[in-house]
Structure 1
Amino acid sequence: MKAASRQKLDQRAFLEQVHECRDNGYLLSSKKIGSGAFSKVYLAYATQERMRHNCKLASDLRGKCHTMVQLYETFANSRRTYLVLELAAHGNLLEHINAMSAHYHCPGLEEEEARRLLWQLVSAVAHCHNLGIVHRDLKCENILLDDRGCLKLSDFGFANWSGLKNSLLSTFCGSVAYTAPEILMSKKYNGKQADLWSLGVTLYAMVTGKLPFKECQPHRMLYLMCRGPTFRPGLSPECQDLIRGLLQLHPRARLGLQQVATHHWMLPAAHALFCTTLCAIPEKTEKPQLRTSLHNVEPNADSDPPRSLLQLWRPQLQGTSCESASGPAPEPPGACPRQGADSAGLELWSTETAGRTVGRSRHPLLLCSIRSVPGHYPVS
């Protein structure tokens, strides 16, 4: 009886949401593609009338040219807040890792693919940090892939502005599997250094198909963190070195974004980007034009490009010495063979009971995230 009553209430609430979306120019689909502690995510269509009143929305649906996840519109009433978001057609990184692991019967992504994605992720995090913004919830479920396979960082619900260089935060937030040890110990922490730990966990998940520390209890997690990560056979020493450099218990001992970008394991990605840029430049281009082109490898009309990373690897390519925690230069991509593993280890478990995911469909489908109460953002 209670289940039936609950179902009727859910149906009534959904019909209300359908009417509220329609009144604001969106057709809400019945397909729920994700849910979390604060919201539910549905597929939705933008009506022609809505697109006539939202030029940016109409332009993006005709042909995407930006490199960041878009929030197109918000509207609210006394009970709900609606967020109209861009649809990432290829889902999230967690889904991608699991799909590739199952397809090749080997856990994790190829190192070359992981390197390409990590370069984009580091660029995104560097852009945020340059603006004084810390994410505080970096994880595979919050990293989306568009229809070209390009990475986009999403879900800034726990983000915080950390303007002062040595300012410390105190809010316990994020997912336990990706959370830095200083946060688990309820210490005040540097948000940028906490993001670096989460970056290391994400890289580990990409190349191994699992999480380095899998425990629900914080004290057990801390015990595993003290022991350090273990690696599957066949993973290159350079990749292991980079992961260890990020998963340092002491926050100040972790590799910074500059050191990550110039790490030996990352250099093939920087070299590929450099060669791609050169191929796109006319032969008689002068040096000032070359510099301008390098700073616009990934044009972004919404915000300034993450300049720091482009400055990071250019000295390394020119032979200038750069600080790195790695050893000798790595072998070419693919030199370290992948070895098989038991099928039981293929699935990378989600850190949420129902992680926020995205569907696979064509435009003009959008994501409509519905919060039951007005969003609350932490202040520290």
Structure 2
Amino acid sequence: MLEWFEEEDQYILILILEYSESCRDLYGFILQEKLSESQARSLMYQAVLAAKHCLDGGVFHRDIKLDNYVINTATNRVQLIDFGCGEVAESGIKGQFIGFACPPEYFADFEYEAEPTTVWSLGIMMHRTVCSCNPLRKEDGRLSFDSRVSAEFQELITWCLALNPSERATMEDILQHEWFRQERMSGAI
């Protein structure tokens, strides 16, 4: 940490973070590498663990997306970065949405919660990683999947992208889901 400032409603931290030559943002990595579902699963398990770690520590990242994860291409280790939109995870966040993947509940009353919003963002990110496209079809807003992806993956994404936040998976539900079973059993991370 180089410097920090305390303001009335926020802290500003000036940090130097590692970003070695072997690191790339996950968005660029996925565009260049055509990942198998198994390879994507390994990376997404790490991404979910990082987001859960933040929430467990009371931090709402608010901008979960492929660009905000880096992968060390030498080790395949994934890290969450860019906390510029972050805030303390509290209930009933109101006001303008800040972040990448605005959850549908925001449009009802301009209010959203940290965990369901994070799960929504992760669902979009996981779908983009495995299927190389956005999950929601523009014409009718329904989910679309590549025919080659597993039923377990489709089930997980459908649960993460449930329109009603009370029906959406929790972070723990995601990590315990069958799609991540191999990662849990291998003791990944």
Normalised TM-score (structure 1): 0.44
Aligned: 1:157 with 2:90: no
Name the structure 2 match of 1:233: 147
The match for 2:99 among 174, 181, 203 is: 174
- Checking the alignment, whether the CA contact within 8 Å between 1:172 and 1:184 is kept in structure 2 is no
| C-alpha deviation, 1:253, in angstroms | 0.6
Greater relative contact order (Cα 8 A, min sep 6): structure 1 or 2? Answer: 1
Structure 1 residues 169 and 271 mapped into 2: Cα distance closer, same or farther (>3 Å)? same
2:162 paired residue number: 248
Q: Which runs of 5+ in 2 are unaligned?
A: 6-12
Q: What does residue 132 of structure 2 align with?
A: 209
Aligned residues: 179
Following TM superposition, by how much is the alpha carbon of 1:187 offset from its aligned partner in structure 2, in angstroms? 2.1
Who is 1:112 aligned against?
A: 38
Please give the secondary structure, in 2, of the residue aligned with 1:152.
strand
Aligned match of 2:106? 183
RMSD: 2.3
Q: 1:84 to 1:112 in 2, by over 3 A?
A: same
Q: CA separation in 2, counterparts of 1:113 and 1:236?
A: 13
- Identity score, percent: 27
**3-state secondary structure, aligned to 1:235:** coil
Q: Residue in 2 aligned with 1:259? A: 173
**What displacement does 1:75 show?**
8.0
Alpha-carbon offset, residue 113 of structure 1:
0.9
**Within the alignment, does 1:143 sit opposite 2:69 as a pair?**
yes
Tell me, yes or no, if the aligned pair for 1:182 and 1:188 is still in contact at 8 Å. Answer: yes
Amino acid at match of 1:95: G
What is the alpha-carbon distance in structure 2 between the residues aligned to residue 214 and residue 253 of structure 1? 21
* CA deviations over 1:217-272 (Å, ceiling 9, x no partner): xxx8xx52xxx210111111111000001000001111111111111111011111
Where 2:16 maps in the other structure, the secondary structure is strand
Partner of 2:32: 99
What is the deviation of 1:186?
A: 5.1
* Larger-Rg structure: 1
Matches within 5 A, 1:63-142: 72-74=1-3, 83-88=15-20, 89-101=22-34, 109-142=35-68
CA shift, 1:90, in A, is 2.5
**Offset at residue 73 of structure 1 (A):** 2.5
> TM-score, structure 2 length as denominator?
0.85
Offset, 1:173: 0.8
Task: Quote the offset at 1:96 in angstroms.
Answer: 1.1
Q: Distance in 1 between matches of 2:109 and 2:75?
A: 40
